[in-house]
Structure 1
Amino acid sequence: MGKILCVAEKPSIAKAVANHLARAQARNVNGVTYVKNYVFDYNFTRWGASNVVFTSVVGHIKHQEFAPRYSSWNSCDPLDLFDAPIINSVVEDKKAIARNIEEQARGAQALFIWTDCDREGEHIGTEIRDIALRVNPRLDVKRARFSNIERAHVINAATNPISLDEKQANAVAARIELDLRLGAAFTRLQTLALQSLISQENKVISYGSCQFPTLGFVVERYFRVKNFVPETFWLLKLMHEKDDIKVNFNWRRGHLFDRMAVTIIFERCLAAKMARVTSMQTKPTSKWKPLPLTTVELQKMGSRFLRMDSQRVMKVAEDLYTKGWISYPRTETDQFDKGMDLRSLVEKQQQDADWGPFARNLINSQFRQPRSGRHNDQAHPPIHPVNFVVRDQLQNDEERRVYEFVVRRFLACCSEDALGESTNIEVEYGGEAFRAHGLIVIQRNYLDVYPYDKWESSQQLPRFDVGETFVPKEVQMTDGKTTAPGYLTEPELISLMDANGIGTDATMAEHIAKIKERAYVMTRPKGGGRAGGNGEVRLTTGSRGGRSGTGRGRVAGDSGNAAPAAGNSGIQEFIPTTLGVALIEGYDNVGFDTSLSKPFLRKEMELQMRAICAGTATRSDVVHQNLELYRAVFMRTAQQMNVLKTAIRKYIPQANG
């Protein structure tokens, strides 16, 4: 009977999978208290009856660093780091884990890798493989494809091993090298040049190719708010009463910024006296149920409704996944495979006191296939519950909130759209068009289980006939002022990062956390309150070169992003610190087209990573092309460092001392 070495990405997955495959006996790995080897027998389809050792790593076990002669900040010109030799070695505190893999691989017939099925998991898989092959080059290396740790899913993965995806691993390797070189070069450059100008001695002014565009979005919105100049506008309102129902008609033009023009139009309307109905339409309408849940959507909704920031939402979701309650929470896919048995997943939720009756109705007659979005990462299905758990058995309130959201979202996806009836009336009055809109919700359907969406009936409108005329009961000319946009919230920031290719669904939360950790931004509850973090925002008054930021902004009463109905107090808004503002303005002034605060360079890098995964680009080509692009920006920045220093002195008073 041969020996099979199985290696998972984290100890909790190793324990869960080993327990599904067999009643495993565990022993601690020598020198690593949190990693265990689970030993049992199992009959694999590929290898037959086998003695299995199931162990794990804890994420990446190797790291890249520059050769020793480049490790000191003053050992070389930061520009040299674009070409300096890199050493790939086992992380010091994970050498015991690497030794365990070597020891178990020596007598093994095969290496079966159980890392997460995404880019990062593929790269960790290659690290494990390389360590094992060094001591046993004859190993048959395969990996398991799985997206949750339910027993049937695990057994299926064990029965159908696949090969590691070298292209995805190469994409991660390219990103790691670029992040190391660019991060180290720019961090050393700006820290050595600017550190003496800020108050905190020995403060590292770090750079990241995702961090800076993320910070750039925050600063851009900040100045749109601060430089906003309100403008007065004028509009017309028309009200008529019929069948004891007051109907408010809105001016089709919305509003105008010319008082005289509105006055002339107003007088023309009054002179006309009679209004005439030009259109009366009543038709069925619907509110679409949500798309299946992706990582980006989970992070945005968590911030908006669950009173948790994106990083915390992902940590809790990971915990729920490793405990076997939900599927893998890192996915870009918003479409369920047609062959997936969704009904069985719905059936498990019938036990719950709150949404159980809704789940039973779905099973009995109301189940509908979920909508399909446009994204499929070909790795994992959308996030969904895989097992039912009584919420009191979950570890804390955060786990309960995230689990409940995932379940309710899934049940809503399997329901019907909400149905209603809309009425639209248009009248002509003095040559101007006015409109009234009414909505009656007839069937709530998915809304009954998904309180995060709101769709409410408005007042029912009376019946009007086309051609009917009437004298309006009330006509008014009123004024108002445009209002500034709000500071950037976390859901908005994630949307901007997603649209501009800054980071991946799995790393966006980390980049946001990093700019907070570096004290480039602070957060506070939306709408006011004290910002959290170090320092306060102190900005000089007056115009800001390169950014007008005025614009007309939002009009009070206009429909923008509707405030959420629940959890609003949990939404955080981002405000940059003086250091964050100074860095972004400095880089913008160095060169707009290639500013490190803009998303263009990083977005192109992410597209090239996808090209590696698709096999249309190589790792070496992508690394070389991006290094050359950033090298030009680096040299320009070094030549114009006085521009950055000027920005620092402008916003940080002590820098002028």
Structure 2
Amino acid sequence: MSKILCVAEKPSIAKAVAEHLAGQRPNSRRTGANYVMNYDFSFSFDPPWGNCSVTMTSVIGHLHSQDFVQEYRGWKSCPPSALFEAPIENSVDDKKKAIAENIGKEARHAKALFIWTDCDREGEYIGSEVSRIALRANPNLEVKRAKFSNIERAHVFRAARNPIHLDERLVDAVAARIELDLRIGASFTRLQTLNLQPLGPELQNVISYGSCQFPTLGFVVDRYFRIRNFVPETFWYIRVTHLRDDISVNFSWRRVHLFDRMAVTILFERCITSHTAKVTKVQTKPTSKWRPLPLTTVELQKLGSRLLGMDSQRVMKVAEELYTKGFISYPRTETDQFDRGIDLRALIEKQTMDGSWGAYAQGLLEGNFRQPRAGRNNDQAHPPIHPVSYASGNALATNEHRRVYEFVVRRFLACCSEDAKGEVTTIEIELGDENFHARGLLVRERNYLDVYPYERWDSSQHLPNFTVGEQFVPSEAIMLEGQTGPPGYLTEPELIALMDANGIGTDATMAEHIAKIREREYVMCRPRSEAARNGDNNERAVGGGRGGRGMRETGSRGGGGRRDRNAMLEFIPSTLGVALVEGYNNMGFEPSLTKPFLRKEMELKMKAICEGRKSGSDVVQESLGQYREVFTTTSRKIDVLKTASATPSNPNGFTTISTKSSPYHFVHATLPPTH
């Protein structure tokens, strides 16, 4: 009987796959590596392998590490610029040697190597690392890989009986990215650290650079400067109110508002002079609120941060743990469309036993099911994130696991539902030469909203009957004054959206880059403050209308979203973070290291490697050439960066906040109330 060696990316995946293929608890053997076990069983593969003896084992992420050869590793061993060409060696990480030895030992007597790493770029590269180690022990091995997106039993069997080849283009792309990140990151990090550390004791930590890390910091600092430089502007507008059938209807001005007080005053006086309003349009028509698209990694991170009170890195960690337990599909995907071949009804049926959403799931099976909407993205590797099996509350380890699992399930059920339906009534009136309108919504069918409480769509106040052509004297016409308000600090969902739109990192790494700028203390996080949520929104009445009077109104912005935003974190740059961005921006070169353009171009080149349009070596040389030019400019103008770091920007009107855990200060703007 031939032996097949199977290698997964994580011990939990190896255990789950082995148990499925063995059909019972497989025999287990200890290895020399902590947490890694070997599982022995028999399985009948499709030809040409047939019935085989199988050993399933695993790695724990990457096996190899890349570093410069020894003579270049010292901080002062060479000029930082030399790292663009310094020799690099690729070796098994010291902590992973026992894992590598286990793979080599098991491969010696195997006929084939069957790789079960995650089906993405990193998984493909880890598979190639496993392959290199196994082939050194047994050059005659046949190498295959399993294509799978979840560890449901039927899915695992399909993957086992339909092996594919490793995609060397993906391997080449990751190899190129690793080399670029090492050379660019090490050269700029040494340049920054060696030049800035002598400036003071508070700069003794490593001042690291990363080609994704700095643009991410740049977004945070850019928003800080927009707040700091914000100048409020006063505007004026007109509102008309009419009381009918005990319902007070507010008509909004079509011009919204103007920044010219005199112009608004003249228009307002014409309204007052005309006395009578005329109804020019009454329209009622059906409307819908679309059900959400299938769930991608970026959306999971954004919504997890906004709705679940967890940072994006924690959301992804919990989602990966749910995946390894077999509860949800692979949580790293760009795809927002379900393949027609996926049996969605079978997945829905597994959720019918739940006490909270089981009845709703049953209703979908009994006639309410709709094929999910198809988005524009398909990475050709994984389906959207969805539940694979039912998990009772007791089966989930923590409250965080329960919240993430519930969100994934409810999102999936909502995708398979009908859009919410309602009617919208619009009434338009003319007063003088000005036009005003009122709008009312009546929700007729909630549909997906019954299972997806994360979105709101409520009926507004019922509008009384109006007839086209009728005339009436408004109960009140009023001219109001307001002020524009500054933007808020970037929240995590906003930062992730900016990174996604600008090609900074991948769906799998965005949370890591955000965590890195926090770890380096370039930014701090805090819950969005109550003041920032509410604003002051006082409106001063300038005049009254027929039957009306002057008044002061107090309100708050965005009433419907307040509960969701309570848990959101906002990012505030440290003085060091501001200094680094200011320093690079003051050097006057384009594109700046704190802008997304260089990294976005690099990510596009990685995609070109994956699609076979470029080679990895060509991309490495092109990208190193671009960054070498920027490095040369930075070296020549390093005094600009030193000046910014020695005297960080802290203009009047801004507060510095010191924290016990950090030697740096964090800055925030003290601004006029938001109106």
> Do they superpose with TM above 0.5?
yes
Correspondence for 1:3: 3
Query: How many angstroms does 1:591 deviate by?
Result: 2.4
Query: How many angstroms does 1:321 deviate by?
Result: 0.3
Between 144-153 and 226-235, report the one with greater CA deviation.
226-235
Distance 1:38 1:566, change over 3 A: farther
- Structure 2 matches for 1:79-118, cutoff 5 A? 79-118=81-120
Percent identical residues: 65
Correspondence for 1:489: 491
Correspondence for 2:551: none
Tell me, in whole angstroms, the C-alpha distance in 2 between the residues paired with 1:75 and 1:181: 15
Correspondence for 2:35: 34
Contact 2:291 2:448 in 1 (8 A): yes
Contact 1:452 1:565 in 2 (8 A): no
Query: How many angstroms does 1:277 deviate by?
Result: 1.5
Contact 2:456 2:560 in 1 (8 A): no
Tell me, in whole angstroms, the C-alpha distance in 1 between the residues paired with 2:279 and 2:649: 62
Correspondence for 2:79: 77
Equivalent position to 2:189, from 187, 190, 195: 187
Contact 1:14 1:54 in 2 (8 A): yes
Equivalent position to 1:234, from 214, 233, 236: 236
Correspondence for 1:15: 15
- How many pairs does the alignment contain? 628
Query: How many angstroms does 1:244 deviate by?
Result: 2.8
**Aligned residues: CA RMSD:** 1.7
Tell me, in whole angstroms, the C-alpha distance in 2 between the residues paired with 1:528 and 1:418: 32
Tell me, in whole angstroms, the C-alpha distance in 2 between the residues paired with 1:570 and 1:333: 28
Tell me, in whole angstroms, the C-alpha distance in 2 between the residues paired with 1:99 and 1:236: 77
Equivalent position to 1:571, from 568, 571, 587: 568
Query: How many angstroms does 1:122 deviate by?
Result: 0.3
Query: How many angstroms does 1:650 deviate by?
Result: 2.1
Correspondence for 1:537: none
Query: How many angstroms does 1:632 deviate by?
Result: 0.4
Equivalent position to 2:165, from 159, 163, 169: 163
Secondary structure of the residue that 2:5 maps to in structure 1? strand
Contact 1:611 1:617 in 2 (8 A): yes
The one-letter amino acid of 1:582's match is: A
Tell me, in whole angstroms, the C-alpha distance in 1 between the residues paired with 2:470 and 2:208: 69
Cα deviation per residue 1:564-620 (whole Å; 9 max; x = unaligned)?
364432200000000000000101111252211100000000011001111111101
Secondary structure of the residue that 1:648 maps to in structure 2? helix
Query: How many angstroms does 1:189 deviate by?
Result: 0.3
TM superposition score normalised by structure 1: 0.94
Contact 2:66 2:90 in 1 (8 A): yes
Distance 1:227 1:74, change over 3 A: same
- Structure 2 matches for 1:34-73, cutoff 5 A? 34-46=35-47, 47-73=49-75
Contact 1:523 1:572 in 2 (8 A): yes
Cα deviation per residue 1:320-369 (whole Å; 9 max; x = unaligned)?
00000000000000000011100010011011101011001001110111
Contact 2:279 2:428 in 1 (8 A): yes
Query: How many angstroms does 1:529 deviate by?
Result: 9.6
Tell me, in whole angstroms, the C-alpha distance in 2 between the residues paired with 1:199 and 1:478: 54
Equivalent position to 1:468, from 467, 470, 474: 470
Distance 1:306 1:525, change over 3 A: same
Correspondence for 1:480: 482
Correspondence for 1:540: none
- Structure 2 matches for 1:128-527, cutoff 5 A? 128-200=130-202, 202-527=204-529
Cα deviation per residue 1:23-82 (whole Å; 9 max; x = unaligned)?
31111112x121011011111113111111100000000011001110011111111111
Tell me, in whole angstroms, the C-alpha distance in 2 between the residues paired with 1:212 and 1:201: 17
Tell me, in whole angstroms, the C-alpha distance in 2 between the residues paired with 1:310 and 1:159: 36
Tell me, in whole angstroms, the C-alpha distance in 1 between the residues paired with 2:504 and 2:556: 30
Secondary structure of the residue that 2:67 maps to in structure 1? strand
The one-letter amino acid of 2:144's match is: K
Distance 1:408 1:169, change over 3 A: same
Distance 1:296 1:120, change over 3 A: same
Secondary structure of the residue that 2:62 maps to in structure 1? coil
The one-letter amino acid of 1:10's match is: K
The one-letter amino acid of 2:223's match is: R
Between 583-592 and 176-185, report the one with greater CA deviation.
583-592
Tell me, in whole angstroms, the C-alpha distance in 1 between the residues paired with 2:127 and 2:337: 27
The one-letter amino acid of 1:342's match is: L
Equivalent position to 1:593, from 590, 596, 605: 590
The one-letter amino acid of 1:8's match is: A
Cα deviation per residue 1:483-530 (whole Å; 9 max; x = unaligned)?
111110000000000000000000000000000000000000012699
The one-letter amino acid of 2:577's match is: G
Correspondence for 1:618: 615
Tell me, in whole angstroms, the C-alpha distance in 2 between the residues paired with 1:28 and 1:583: 49
Correspondence for 1:584: 581
Tell me, in whole angstroms, the C-alpha distance in 2 between the residues paired with 1:447 and 1:572: 26
Tell me, in whole angstroms, the C-alpha distance in 2 between the residues paired with 1:470 and 1:11: 75
Between 236-245 and 152-161, report the one with greater CA deviation.
236-245
Contact 2:242 2:249 in 1 (8 A): yes
Correspondence for 1:121: 123
Secondary structure of the residue that 1:84 maps to in structure 2? coil
Query: How many angstroms does 1:468 deviate by?
Result: 1.8
Distance 1:360 1:51, change over 3 A: same
Tell me, in whole angstroms, the C-alpha distance in 2 between the residues paired with 1:284 and 1:205: 57
Cα deviation per residue 1:155-191 (whole Å; 9 max; x = unaligned)?
1100100001111111111111000000000000000
Query: How many angstroms does 1:281 deviate by?
Result: 1.1
Contact 1:113 1:143 in 2 (8 A): yes
Between 33-42 and 463-472, report the one with greater CA deviation.
463-472
Cα deviation per residue 1:302-327 (whole Å; 9 max; x = unaligned)?
10111100000000000000000000
Cα deviation per residue 1:5-33 (whole Å; 9 max; x = unaligned)?
00000100000000000031111112x12
Secondary structure of the residue that 2:561 maps to in structure 1? coil
The one-letter amino acid of 2:561's match is: P
Alignment of 1:649 onto 2:651? no
Query: How many angstroms does 1:201 deviate by?
Result: 5.6
The one-letter amino acid of 2:178's match is: I
The one-letter amino acid of 1:606's match is: E
Tell me, in whole angstroms, the C-alpha distance in 1 between the residues paired with 2:423 and 2:589: 50
Cα deviation per residue 1:538-583 (whole Å; 9 max; x = unaligned)?
xxxxxxxxxxxxxxxxxx98987x7636443220000000000000
Distance 1:198 1:291, change over 3 A: farther
Secondary structure of the residue that 1:196 maps to in structure 2? helix
Correspondence for 1:634: 631
Distance 1:299 1:637, change over 3 A: same
Query: How many angstroms does 1:198 deviate by?
Result: 3.8
Correspondence for 2:601: 604
Contact 2:8 2:14 in 1 (8 A): yes
The one-letter amino acid of 1:2's match is: S
Tell me, in whole angstroms, the C-alpha distance in 2 between the residues paired with 1:367 and 1:99: 51
Contact 1:452 1:566 in 2 (8 A): no
Between 268-277 and 344-353, report the one with greater CA deviation.
268-277
Gaps of 5+ in 2: 533-553, 651-662, 665-675
Contact 1:304 1:564 in 2 (8 A): no
Tell me, in whole angstroms, the C-alpha distance in 2 between the residues paired with 1:176 and 1:216: 23
Distance 1:525 1:563, change over 3 A: farther
Tell me, in whole angstroms, the C-alpha distance in 1 between the residues paired with 2:522 and 2:422: 47
